[in-house]
Amino acid sequence: MFKPELLAPAGCLSRLKTACLYGANALYLGGQRYGLRARADNFTEHELKEGVRFAHEHNVRIYVVLNAFLHDDDMDRLDEFCEFLESIGVDAVIASDLGVIRTIRRNCNLEVHLSTQASCLNRYGAQLWKRLGVSRIIVGRELSIEEAGRIKQESGVGVEMFLHGAMCMSYSGHCTISNFTAGRDANRGGCIQSCRFPYKQTRLETAGGMGVAEDNTLDNLGEEAHFMSSKDLFGSALLNEFFRYNIDSLKIEGRMKSALYLAVTCRTYRKLIDEIASGSLTERSVRDADEELLRTLNRGSCEGSLKGPAGRESVYEPFVKDDSKPDMRHILGTVLETTRDRILLQLKAPLELGNTLEFLPFRGESISWMVDSMRSIDDVELQSARQDSVISLPKTSELVDVAQFNVVRKSDTTHDDVL
């Protein structure tokens, strides 16, 4: 049976391992240049080699993003980088700019996926990009699943869609607010997220114009509101539709997100996709999955345009309480090592005796465990441990399946600095 690829972000080498182990089929990641996340760790060439090796050992494909709108000077040594990517076995590159695509095709045989930055929105656009050498299109987030399916059918090109995570409110690549107001090029990795700001607004009554007030000293701008901040995309309820329209790849957004976000989204979507493919999906799995996935979204959730054009409900108002949202769970740490009788955990949050932890195995149910004993790395018994320390937990019978790189969360915290 057809089964779409689950494509996850990898912001650094450790999160690449997390995503591989939690069930992604493919990962997208950036090198030190040419991508859209200037502040992300990104991968050095050495790490790219190591990442490809690790991913391929786990049958996971690697796609490298080269999707910034590059200027001439930015393209320096792009040809060499493409050759390098091909030499280490990268499976595809993601590009949005015709100049980049031509450079790739001139210097290597890497498969090229068209970034959503290029806003390919219709079947004729897909035909054109196919002619220019693109084998897969990450369609604009403005399209429905049915429309993406039609593009695939009528253009013969592979189609990838966003499934989960934060969204631009603008057509991708068509926002230059950062460029012109902050001197940082959003389309070369410097977005200041102006769409997340609150704006005061006043309506003008001069129909037929271009929104220019005659009086530039308006003092009646109304209340602040987040009119251009999008809720996060949440596509789990539509997974059957992705299958129905043969969408090749389902993408989780978030190269800057935490290991917990990756672990939860990958393992949960992995389970849902596998259950749909095997015909074993139950209402209970869907309900449980939704509860898990909603915990990963910070700005509310919506289906975007996956069913039809995104409407009023897709705009995020941060101060409007959403009662349907389950309590957030916060990352506690990552298992760095396990021995016969101990689990060594790097803490990302403080921990005390009596706290309840939740270990997330790569597959299967999470394991809750109340901390009744912990020791320092030097084997000193502890009552509490601070953030950014490494502690040792006893490998009790409940924790026997806990493995290296398992992510652990706290189930009884309430602070908001999450994911």
Segment 144-173, which members bind other proteins (CB under 8 A)? 144, 147-148, 150-151, 169-171, 173
342 binds other proteins (CB under 8 A): yes
* Shortest distance, position 316 Cβ to other proteins, whole Å: 12
Dihedral angle, C-alpha 69, 75, 77, 83, nearest 10 °: 50
Asked if 27 interacts with other proteins (CB under 8 A), we say: no
**Can you list the alpha helix ranges (DSSP code H) found in 22-132?**
45-57, 78-87, 98-107, 123-131
Which positions from 4 through 23 interact with other proteins, judged by CB under 8 A?
Answer: 13
Nearer to other proteins (CB atom), residue 213 or residue 370? 213
Query: 60 vs 50, 89, 91, 161, 378, CA distance in Å?
Result: 13, 12, 10, 18, 37
* Residues touching other proteins, count (CB under 8 A): 114
Closest separation between CB of residue 159 and other proteins, Å? 11
Determine the Cα–Cα distance for residues 132 and 146; give it in Å rounded to an integer: 24
Query: CA 261, CA 126: separation in Å to the nearest integer?
Result: 32
Choosing from 18, 392, 406, 413, the residue that interacts with other proteins (CB under 8 A) is 392
**Which 254-313 positions form the footprint of other proteins (CB under 8 A)?**
305, 308-312
- Nearer CB in complex with other proteins: 188/329: 188
Q: How far is the CB of 179 from other proteins (least distance, A)?
A: 5
C-beta of 244: minimal distance to other proteins in Å? 16
- List the interface residues with other proteins, window 79-108 (CB under 8 A): 96-103
Residue 242: its H or E element: helix 239-244
Instruction: By CB under 8 A, name the one of 206, 240, 356, 384 that touches other proteins.
Output: 206
Instruction: Tell me the sheet residues that pair with 111.
Output: 92
Distance separating alpha carbons of residues 53 and 89, to the nearest angstrom = 8
Query: Could you give the string, one character per residue 233-252, with x where binding to other proteins holds by CB under 8 A and - elsewhere?
Result: --------------------
Using CB under 8 A as the criterion, what x/- string covers residues 109-148 for binding other proteins?
A: --------xxxxxxxxxxxxx-xx-------x-xxx--xx
- Count CB atoms within 10 A of the CB of residue 400: 9
Query: Interface with other proteins by CB under 8 A: which range of 207-215, 233-241, 271-279, 357-365?
Result: 207-215
**Interface with other proteins (CB under 8 A), residue from 179, 246, 285, 411:** 179
Q: Which of 208, 279, 282, 320 binds other proteins (CB under 8 A)?
A: 208
**Binding of other proteins by 319 (CB under 8 A):** no
Distance CA 228, CA 310 (A): 12
Give the residue with the Cβ less far from other proteins, 216 or 280. 216
CB atoms within 10 A of CB 101: 20
Q: Which of 57, 109, 203, 283 binds other proteins (CB under 8 A)?
A: 203
How big is the CA angle at 322 (ends 409 and 310), to the nearest 5 degrees?
105
Cβ-contact 92, 86 below 8 angstroms: no
Rg from Cα positions in the chain:
23
Name the segment binding other proteins (CB under 8 A); options: 22-30, 63-71, 84-92, 253-261.
Answer: 63-71
Judged by CB under 8 A, which of 1, 59, 109, 211 binds other proteins? 211
- How is the beta sheet containing 367-370 ordered, strand by strand? 367-370, 356-360, 407-410, 330-338, 342-347, 390-394, 375-376
Pick out residues in 32-61 that bind other proteins (CB under 8 A): 32, 38-39, 41-42, 44-47, 50
The first and second tokens of residue 92, run together, are 């595809």
* Minimum CB–partner distance for residue 61 and other proteins (Å): 22
Question: What token pair was written down for 255?
Answer: 């190269």
